[in-house]
Protein backbone atom coordinates (compact mmCIF):
# COMPACT_ATOMS: atom_id res chain seq x y z
CA UNK A 1 0.00 0.00 0.00
CA UNK A 2 1.28 3.46 -0.85
CA UNK A 3 0.97 6.18 1.80
CA UNK A 4 -1.26 8.22 -0.48
CA UNK A 5 -3.78 5.36 -0.44
CA UNK A 6 -4.21 5.94 3.31
CA UNK A 7 -5.21 9.59 2.86
CA UNK A 8 -8.04 10.37 5.25
CA UNK A 9 -7.48 7.21 7.27
CA UNK A 10 -6.23 6.66 10.80
CA UNK A 11 -2.98 4.69 10.94
CA UNK A 12 -1.76 3.04 14.13
CA UNK A 13 1.92 2.16 14.24
CA UNK A 14 3.53 -0.30 16.63
CA UNK A 15 4.34 2.68 18.87
CA UNK A 16 0.60 3.17 19.32
CA UNK A 17 0.11 -0.37 20.62
CA UNK A 18 0.43 -0.72 24.39
CA UNK A 19 3.10 1.09 26.34
CA UNK A 20 6.34 0.28 28.14
CA UNK A 21 4.42 0.02 31.41
CA UNK A 22 1.43 -1.86 30.01
CA UNK A 23 1.89 -4.12 27.00
CA UNK A 24 -1.02 -4.90 24.72
CA UNK A 25 -2.15 -8.57 25.03
CA UNK A 26 -0.62 -9.27 21.60
CA UNK A 27 2.76 -7.90 22.70
CA UNK A 28 2.47 -9.79 25.97
CA UNK A 29 1.76 -13.02 24.07
CA UNK A 30 4.69 -12.55 21.66
CA UNK A 31 6.94 -12.00 24.65
CA UNK A 32 5.65 -14.87 26.80
CA UNK A 33 5.39 -17.35 23.90
CA UNK A 34 8.82 -16.49 22.48
CA UNK A 35 7.20 -15.29 19.26
CA UNK A 36 10.27 -13.25 18.38
CA UNK A 37 14.00 -13.52 18.29
CA UNK A 38 15.78 -10.60 16.59
CA UNK A 39 12.55 -8.55 16.50
CA UNK A 40 12.99 -7.32 12.92
CA UNK A 41 9.63 -8.71 11.79
CA UNK A 42 7.81 -8.30 15.09
CA UNK A 43 6.15 -4.91 14.50
CA UNK A 44 4.58 -6.15 11.26
CA UNK A 45 3.63 -9.48 12.79
CA UNK A 46 1.90 -7.80 15.73
CA UNK A 47 0.05 -5.22 13.64
CA UNK A 48 -1.06 -7.88 11.11
CA UNK A 49 -2.14 -10.20 13.92
CA UNK A 50 -4.11 -7.44 15.63
CA UNK A 51 -5.90 -6.74 12.36
CA UNK A 52 -6.62 -10.45 11.97
CA UNK A 53 -8.11 -10.68 15.48
CA UNK A 54 -10.16 -7.54 14.86
CA UNK A 55 -11.79 -9.33 11.93
CA UNK A 56 -11.72 -12.84 13.39
CA UNK A 57 -11.43 -13.11 17.19
CA UNK A 58 -11.01 -16.90 17.17
CA UNK A 59 -8.88 -17.87 14.15
CA UNK A 60 -7.62 -21.36 13.35
CA UNK A 61 -3.89 -21.93 12.91
CA UNK A 62 -4.35 -21.86 9.13
CA UNK A 63 -6.22 -18.57 9.37
CA UNK A 64 -3.39 -17.15 11.51
CA UNK A 65 -0.83 -18.26 8.91
CA UNK A 66 -2.92 -16.61 6.20
CA UNK A 67 -3.31 -13.45 8.34
CA UNK A 68 0.45 -12.97 8.73
CA UNK A 69 1.47 -14.21 5.30
CA UNK A 70 2.65 -10.78 4.14
CA UNK A 71 5.39 -10.77 6.79
CA UNK A 72 8.64 -12.70 6.57
CA UNK A 73 10.50 -13.93 9.64
CA UNK A 74 14.01 -15.25 9.26
CA UNK A 75 14.38 -16.34 12.88
CA UNK A 76 11.45 -18.09 14.52
CA UNK A 77 10.23 -20.60 11.97
CA UNK A 78 6.73 -19.18 12.62
CA UNK A 79 5.70 -21.86 15.12
CA UNK A 80 5.94 -19.63 18.18
CA UNK A 81 4.37 -16.73 16.31
CA UNK A 82 1.29 -18.90 15.71
CA UNK A 83 1.34 -19.92 19.38
CA UNK A 84 1.58 -16.24 20.40
CA UNK A 85 -1.32 -15.14 18.19
CA UNK A 86 -3.44 -18.01 19.50
CA UNK A 87 -2.61 -17.00 23.10
CA UNK A 88 -3.37 -13.35 22.38
CA UNK A 89 -6.69 -14.29 20.77
CA UNK A 90 -7.66 -16.18 23.89
CA UNK A 91 -6.59 -13.33 26.18
CA UNK A 92 -8.44 -10.76 24.09
CA UNK A 93 -11.63 -12.87 24.02
CA UNK A 94 -11.50 -13.08 27.80
CA UNK A 95 -11.07 -9.31 28.01
CA UNK A 96 -14.31 -8.79 26.13
CA UNK A 97 -16.10 -9.99 29.23
CA UNK A 98 -15.43 -6.62 30.84
CA UNK A 99 -17.44 -5.82 33.93
CA UNK A 100 -15.89 -2.41 34.60
CA UNK A 101 -18.50 -0.47 32.68
CA UNK A 102 -22.05 -1.52 31.83
CA UNK A 103 -22.37 0.58 28.72
CA UNK A 104 -19.58 1.85 26.49
CA UNK A 105 -17.38 -1.25 26.43
CA UNK A 106 -20.22 -3.42 25.25
CA UNK A 107 -21.03 -1.17 22.32
CA UNK A 108 -17.60 -0.85 20.74
CA UNK A 109 -14.15 -2.35 21.28
CA UNK A 110 -12.68 1.02 20.33
CA UNK A 111 -14.45 2.60 23.32
CA UNK A 112 -12.71 0.23 25.74
CA UNK A 113 -9.33 1.77 25.15
CA UNK A 114 -10.78 5.18 25.96
CA UNK A 115 -12.62 4.02 29.10
CA UNK A 116 -10.71 4.85 32.29
CA UNK A 117 -12.69 2.28 34.27
CA UNK A 118 -11.90 -0.42 31.70
CA UNK A 119 -8.20 0.52 31.65
CA UNK A 120 -8.05 0.44 35.44
CA UNK A 121 -9.59 -3.05 35.48
CA UNK A 122 -7.26 -4.31 32.73
CA UNK A 123 -3.76 -3.40 33.86
CA UNK A 124 -2.10 -4.14 30.51
CA UNK A 125 -4.33 -1.68 28.64
CA UNK A 126 -2.38 1.33 27.36
CA UNK A 127 -2.45 4.36 29.61
CA UNK A 128 -2.78 6.63 26.60
CA UNK A 129 -3.71 6.37 22.96
CA UNK A 130 -0.04 5.99 21.97
CA UNK A 131 1.20 6.95 18.55
CA UNK A 132 -1.76 7.19 16.26
CA UNK A 133 -1.13 9.09 13.08
CA UNK A 134 -3.81 10.88 11.09
CA UNK A 135 -2.79 10.72 7.44
Q: Is 36 in the site for ligand FES (CB under 6 A)?
A: yes
Shortest distance, position 105 Cβ to ligand FES, whole Å: 33
Q: Which of residues 106-135 bind ligand FES (CB under 6 A)?
A: none
Nearer to ligand FES, 86 or 112 (CB): 86
Nearer to ligand FES, 75 or 104 (CB): 75
Rounded-to-integer distance, Cα 112 and Cα 22, Å? 15
Shortest distance, position 73 Cβ to ligand FES, whole Å: 3
Contact with ligand FES (CB under 6 A): which of 17, 26, 29, 41? 41
DSSP string, 84-114: HHHHHHHHHHHHTS--S-SSHHHH-HHHHHH
Nearer to ligand FES, 55 or 74 (CB): 74
- Return phi, psi of residue 10, to 5°: -95, 130
Contact with ligand FES (CB under 6 A): which of 23, 47, 73, 87? 73
Report the sign of the C-alpha dihedral through residues 108, 22, 78, 75, in that order: positive
Burial class (CB in 10 A: 0-12, 13-18, 19+), 99: exposed
Amino acid sequence: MFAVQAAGSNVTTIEGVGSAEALHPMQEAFWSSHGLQCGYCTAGMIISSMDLLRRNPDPTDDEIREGIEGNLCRCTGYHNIIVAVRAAAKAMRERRRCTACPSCCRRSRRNRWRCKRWRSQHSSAPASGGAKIRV
